[in-house]
Amino acid sequence: MKIIHHQRQIYPDSVREQELLVATVLAGQAPSTLILTEHPPTFTIGTSGSEADILHRVVGGENIAVYPTGRGGEVTYHGPGQLVCYVVADLRQLPDLHRHVWRLEEMVMRTLADLNIDAVRDARGIGVWVGGLKIAAAGVRCRKWITFHGIALNNNPDLSHFSGIVPCGMHDQPVTSIKQLGVNITRDELEELLIHHCNQLFDPLLVPPLSML
C-alpha cells in the first residue's frame, strides 16, 4: 500500500487527487494507495444526503464550506483535528464492497484498541462507534472496482461544528473523539498505528473470508 501524507487540503483538491489515482490504478500504473490528510472546516453531502441536513453554514462565527460529493452516505463534517483516510484500492480481484467497508472500519477499530478504546460497529450505520457515539464516519465510491473516499477518524476536532448538520442522518448528533475519551495522541502517532493496520488488512492474503466478517 502506497502512503501519501498531506498536512491539509481543501476538499476539491482532495477529490481531484483521488480521481487521478483511480485512473492510474485502473490503468495499472499505480498501486493501491492510502491518503492521510485533514480538511479545513467542511460539510460534505453524500449521494443519500440532502441540503436539508445542512442546518447552519456558520458555526461559532466560522464559515464552513459545503460540497456535494459522489461518495455514499449522507452529510458529514471534516475539519482540523480529524484524520481523514482515503483508500484508493483495487478490488478487481476481490470485488466486494461490503468487505472493503469492513476493512476500513476494522483499520480504525484496531487502531483504537491500541489506545485501549473499545470501539465497535453499530446497527445505526456504517462507521465506528464508542459507547453509542460515532467516532469515525465512512463513505466510499467505486468505479470499475477501484474504490475511493474512505473513513474519517475524530482525533481532536471541534465537535461543536457537528451542530451545523444532521450528521449521517442522526438528529441526536451522537459524535465523540479520541480527545473527548481522555486519550491524547499526536497525528503522527495516530498515523503510525493506522498505517500498520492498513498494511495488514489490505494485504489480500490476510483478508478473512466473507463468512468470517
Residues forming the active site:
168
Burial class (CB in 10 A: 0-12, 13-18, 19+), 158: middle
What is d(CA 48, CA 61) in angstroms, rounded to the nearest whole number? 28
The label of the residue with cell 466486494 reads 96
Distances (CA, A) of 76 to 131, 148, 173, 212: 20, 16, 11, 30
What is d(CA 211, CA 91) in angstroms, rounded to the nearest whole number? 18
